[in-house]
Structure 1
Amino acid sequence: MSEENLTDVVREKIISKLIHAEYRPGHAFKLREMTQSDEFEGISQTPIREALLQLVAQSILVGQRGFSIRVPTPTVQSLTEVRSIRIRLEIMAAAAGIGHWNKARLARLSAIHARLMKAKQAEDTDDILRLNVQFHFALYEPSNMPYLMSMLRQLWAITGPSIRYLYETPNPVVLQGRHSHEDIIEALSARNLPQLEEAIRADGVIHGQKILDMLHRNLSLEALAVQPFTKIEGTRKRAHIGKLIVQQSQEAKPPGE
């Protein structure tokens, strides 16, 4: 296989791992470690380096001269922006495919959601993340819009690493009541586009806000202070900046929250 093809293989593997939250915010990619890992066994540093640089160019990863390429630590602004774009594209994909949801396809989507609920009961984080991704990409599939799917994959690669914080914390998030996935399935079954749009929007907003809350509670002050393409300062200064970010986010919350 040529170096160019290997670069494509590596890039898609990294994107998949980002989507499934196998890399966390702040993760630094070390070329030597990657060439020695099972996932990239037999692949030299050159295609790995090229794949990482391509992902930096796509704003999925961040990097600057003198520092390792890494998974960005999201800010409120960046995560809110990406979430907003993703919701709009998800609605576009679902709307394009709404006429293709027959009983068999709905049954498969319902089965994915049922397995997701079992994984939540078992507190199996890896299965939760895998099945949630599976549900959403099954929702997009009937659109038959490959360029749109590519854009959604890129957005999932950006937000994916943060989703793990919903489940791997001392106090994981437990959402009460009817799950928004059930509203999505109901809307697809009825082919009710306004209901479908509202269900997708609710799913993105509810979980997106929970991610923002959990990031502020669980990321270190130092990690919160490190922003993409900003010269990394001393540890004490980063911690001080992180403390200010947390303080500002708390002051910005409406009274009573």
Structure 2
Amino acid sequence: MLDFAKAQRISLTQQVENNIKNALIVGALKPGARLVTREIAVNQGISITPVREALLRLVSCGALRAAPAQAFLVPALTDSDYQEITKIRKSLEGMATAEASENITTEKLRELHRLFTLFCEAKASGDITQMLKANYQFRFRIYEYAEMPTLMIMIEHLWVRVGPSFHYLYLNATESIQQENLYQQLLSVLEKKESATSYTVMSQIVDESMGVLQRQYRY
């Protein structure tokens, strides 16, 4: 017999986890931010249990750290953390992009151009929030086209780890991510189904963006 109460709780847990993940990825939560279980539950209008379960899930994958008084902290990354994560991201995101290039179609390419345009428009308007959201949507649509769900999960986990550093782009946008030219180059090689070059370009994109984050984070 199905346990509908348990199913509903799991659903709420997943919703809370997804909401916090999204906030981490776009820098809405900065390194050192404190999340209190009860406050989140009250704001969401739900019980403490699914909130605690969601937060503990995020602790288990390194996105948060447990703190006293039923609170959780967004961890700060060290230089060595950045270097390690960058190296892994270049490999995984390069692989996903290379696989996507082999599956590309005219319709998929049209969708990527649409998302790229949204990114450019948000960046030109100076709307950092929309720029980061559009950037995320563009990149993960490419990774989705790789048709490798496990790889997608691994990439998302790394984005959750580095995303809080994007918060510093809100505070100091003088050196925002300059990716339009590289994205145009990437779209070109995807269209030609050049998997090896697609891997290389995406690795370069990761290097550039992580370099910006490290500089903004330090200063």
Query: TM-score surpassing 0.5?
Result: yes
Whole-angstrom CA distance in 2 between matches of 1:176 and 1:26: 27
Structure 1 partner of 2:110: 107
Contact 1:89 1:148 (8 Å CA) reproduced? yes
Q: Find the counterpart in structure 1 of residue 50 from structure 2.
A: 47
1:168-247 correspondence to structure 2 within 5 Å: 168-174=170-176, 179-217=181-219
Question: 1:21 deviation in Å?
Answer: 2.1
Asked whether the 8 Å contact 2:12–2:50 carries over to 1, the reply is: yes
- In structure 2, which of residues 11, 20, 30 is the aligned counterpart of residue 14 of structure 1? 20
The letter of the residue matching 1:184 is L
**Structure 1 stretch displaced more, 177-186 or 102-111:** 177-186
Contact 1:101 1:189 in 2 (8 A): yes
Rounded Cα–Cα distance in structure 1 between residues aligned with 2:147 and 2:178: 34
Note closer, same or farther for the CA distance 1:19–1:127 as it changes in structure 2 (3 Å cut). Answer: same
Q: Give the match's secondary structure for 1:24.
A: coil
2:144 is the alignment partner of 1:145: no
Q: Which has the higher contact order (CA 8 A, sep 6+)?
A: 2
C-alpha separation in 1, matches of 2:153 and 2:180: 30
Decide whether the 8 Å contact of 1:87 with 1:204 is kept in 2. Answer: yes
- Matched residue SS, 1:29: strand
User: What is the distance in 2 between the residues matched to 1:176 and 1:100?
Assistant: 27
Structure 1 CA distance for aligned equivalents of residues 178 and 114 of structure 2: 20
Q: Which has the larger radius of gyration?
A: 1
For normalisation by structure 1, the TM-score amounts to 0.77
Instruction: Decide which of 67, 74, 77 is 1:74's aligned counterpart.
Output: 77
Q: 1:68 deviation in Å?
A: 2.8
Q: Summarize the alignment of residues 50-65 of structure 1 with structure 2, pairs less than 5 Å apart.
A: 50-65=53-68
- SS of the residue corresponding to residue 171 of structure 2 reads coil
Is the Cα contact below 8 Å between 1:94 and 1:139 reproduced in 2?
A: yes
Which secondary structure does the structure 2 equivalent of 1:179 belong to? helix
Aligned to 1:133: 136
Cα distance between partner residues in 2 of 1:61 and 1:81: 18
Whether contact under 8 Å (1:129, 1:164) holds in the other structure is: no
Bigger helix share: 2
User: What is the CA RMSD across the aligned residues, in angstroms?
Assistant: 1.9
Q: Indicate how the Cα distance of structure 1 residues 95 and 33 shifts in structure 2: closer, same or farther if over 3 A, else same.
A: same
Structure 2, unaligned runs of 5 or more: none
Cα gap change, 1:87/1:27 in structure 2, threshold over 3 Å: closer, same or farther? same
Alpha-carbon shift at residue 83 of structure 1 (Å)? 2.0
User: What is the CA–CA distance in structure 1 between the aligned matches of 2:180 and 2:58, rounded to whole Å?
Assistant: 37
Which AA in structure 1 matches 2:28? E
Residue 64 (structure 1) shift: 4.3
Q: 1 CA distance for matches of 2:163 and 2:87? A: 15
The equivalent of 1:87 in structure 2 is 90
Aligned residues, how many?
213
Name segments (4+ residues, structure 1) moved above 4 Å. 64-67, 174-178
SS of 2:10 mapped into structure 1:
helix
Is the alpha carbon distance of 1:178 and 1:50 closer, same or farther for their aligned partners in structure 2, counting shifts above 3 Å? Answer: closer
Amino acid at match of 1:179: N
CA distance 1:204–1:148, change in 2 (3 Å): same
Q: CA deviation at 1:73?
A: 1.2
Distance in 1 between residues matched to 2:16 and 2:177, nearest whole Å: 36
Q: Percent identity?
A: 28
Residues 77-125 of structure 1 deviation map (CA, whole Å, 9 limit, x = unaligned): 1122112212211112122222221122112111211121111111001
